[in-house]
Amino acid sequence: LAPYTTLKVGGEARWFVRANNVDDVASAHRWCAAQGLPLTVLGAGSNVVVADDVADGLILHMAAQGFHIADKEDQCIAEAAAGIPWTTVVDALVQRGFAGVECLAGIPGSVGGTPIQNIGAYGQEIANVIERVVTFDRSKGRVAELGPEECGFGYRMSRFRSDRTGRFIVCGVSYRLRLGLPTVTYPDVDRELETVGISSPTVADVRRAVLAIRKQKGMVTNPEDPNTRSVGSFFVNPVVTGREHARLQALFGIMPATAQPNGYIKLSAAWLIERSGFERGFRTGSVGLSTKHPLAIVTLDGATACDVVDLAVRIKRRVSKLFDVSLRAEPIFVGFGPNEDVEYLRQTY
């Protein structure tokens, strides 16, 4: 499965099927139910760590195609099948001047992957533009459409991600957007726009700025850049209480932190990792950290999923020991079966 992932690690699937439409999904579901086998969906493989010895079961590679934008006055509904690359959708919407996803430009992955962890970057989250998620509900054996309020969206979270039974297979997503001004809330984006001399940016300007920043950080997939052989950020930024933040500041001084609307504080996982002694460019055997971003674990030739997990565990343990803050791994671990290290990486506390 390694070629189907951006980390380029992972063993052989016992069973593998490519799903081009809902009927293929339904057949795969029925076959697994009859055989008593688990089914795991793989999109573009940009947020998974696939085990070296994949546990038994069927891997369903979601490849459904189809993309359509219907616009009326200042609004549009974009309907995309799960196998369409997310960047195709962003680029088409931005080109037409629709606002709401310009900061999500350059995020690798498929449309089907967008609601799973509620993708987000530079002040935007996909939850804010999702109109409908068309799923195959495995518990009922039929298609079910979910509105955003039924998706349980949170920070890099959704009901699709938190439900480990794999109940819903995303077959397509509809997004609702309006013509309008771009979101510019991140200092990085501000600075990049200033560098190129733009004071009243359009959505296209912001998309370009975001892509430039992501390129500098190795956060776009690029076969020429070994820093992008990753899942992007390996850990999500920890969100702590104000009291916890005050404790940390008393011990370690001022640290990067962003106040959240609910009163909690989001810390920088990248800062915690670097302060724990894992600097960008760190190497151990065939794995290491990106030279451009300490949050990205990267693989070299010969790396195994086990090497990736070992390094992630080392980082999490060190951050926990030093700061008493627990990092949660962002990618999904596929095919590991019961595994203590993987359980540890999934835990927040």
Ligand X SMILES: Cc1cc2nc3c(=O)[nH]c(=O)nc-3n(C[C@H](O)[C@H](O)[C@H](O)COP(=O)(O)OP(=O)(O)OC[C@H]3O[C@@H](n4cnc5c(N)ncnc54)[C@H](O)[C@@H]3O)c2cc1C
* Nearest distance, CB of residue 72 and ligand X, angstroms: 28
Q: Which of residues 89-118 bind ligand X (CB under 6 A)?
A: 107-110, 112-114, 116-117
State which residue, 19 or 99, has the beta carbon closest to ligand X. 19
The packing angle between helices 86-95 and 203-216, to 10°, is 140
From the list 119-127, 176-184, 195-203, 283-291, the region that binds ligand X by CB under 6 A is: 119-127
- CA 299/CA 133 separation, integer angstroms: 33
* Nearest distance, CB of residue 15 and ligand X, angstroms: 15
CA separation (Å) from 104 to 20, 53, 77, 111, 184? 25, 33, 17, 12, 12
Does 82 engage in binding with ligand X (CB under 6 A)?
Answer: yes
| Active-site residue (options: 158, 233, 276, 290) | 233
State the pairing for strand pair 75-81/168-179. antiparallel
Does 6 engage in binding with ligand X (CB under 6 A)?
Answer: yes
Does 57 engage in binding with ligand X (CB under 6 A)?
Answer: no
| DSSP bridge partners of 49 | 333
State which residue, 248 or 303, has the beta carbon closest to ligand X. 303
- CA 179/CA 82 separation, integer angstroms: 24
- CA 114/CA 345 separation, integer angstroms: 22
- Answer for which of 121, 209, 248, 303 binds ligand X (CB under 6 A) is 121
Does 124 engage in binding with ligand X (CB under 6 A)?
Answer: no
> Which of helix, strand or coil describes residue 18?
strand
Residue 164 is among the residues annotated as catalytic for this protein: no
State which residue, 47 or 237, has the beta carbon closest to ligand X. 47
| DSSP bridge partners of 289 | 297
Tokens of 333: 């671990």
- CA 52/CA 7 separation, integer angstroms: 12
Does 127 engage in binding with ligand X (CB under 6 A)?
Answer: no
Its sign, for the CA torsion 129, 294, 214, 66, is negative
State which residue, 213 or 267, has the beta carbon closest to ligand X. 213
Q: Which of residues 263-292 bind ligand X (CB under 6 A)?
A: none
Total number of residues that touch ligand X (CB under 6 A): 34
Contact assessment for residue 288 and residue 298, using Cβ atoms and an 8 Å cutoff = yes
State which residue, 267 or 334, has the beta carbon closest to ligand X. 334
Residue 233 is among the residues annotated as catalytic for this protein: yes
- Residue 283 neighbours by CB distance under 10 Å: 12
- CA 92/CA 333 separation, integer angstroms: 32
* Nearest distance, CB of residue 306 and ligand X, angstroms: 19
State which residue, 137 or 341, has the beta carbon closest to ligand X. 137
| Active-site residue (options: 156, 161, 214, 328) | 156
Contact assessment for residue 334 and residue 10, using Cβ atoms and an 8 Å cutoff = yes
Residue found by looking up tokens 């309020």 in the block: 149
Does 182 engage in binding with ligand X (CB under 6 A)?
Answer: no
CA separation (Å) from 86 to 78, 176, 308? 12, 15, 26
* Nearest distance, CB of residue 20 and ligand X, angstroms: 12
* Nearest distance, CB of residue 197 and ligand X, angstroms: 26
Does 87 engage in binding with ligand X (CB under 6 A)?
Answer: no
> Which positions are catalytic?
156, 233, 330
- Residues near ligand X, by CB under 6 A: 6, 40-48, 62, 82, 107-110, 112-114, 116-117, 119-121, 160, 169-170, 219, 221, 228, 230-232, 332
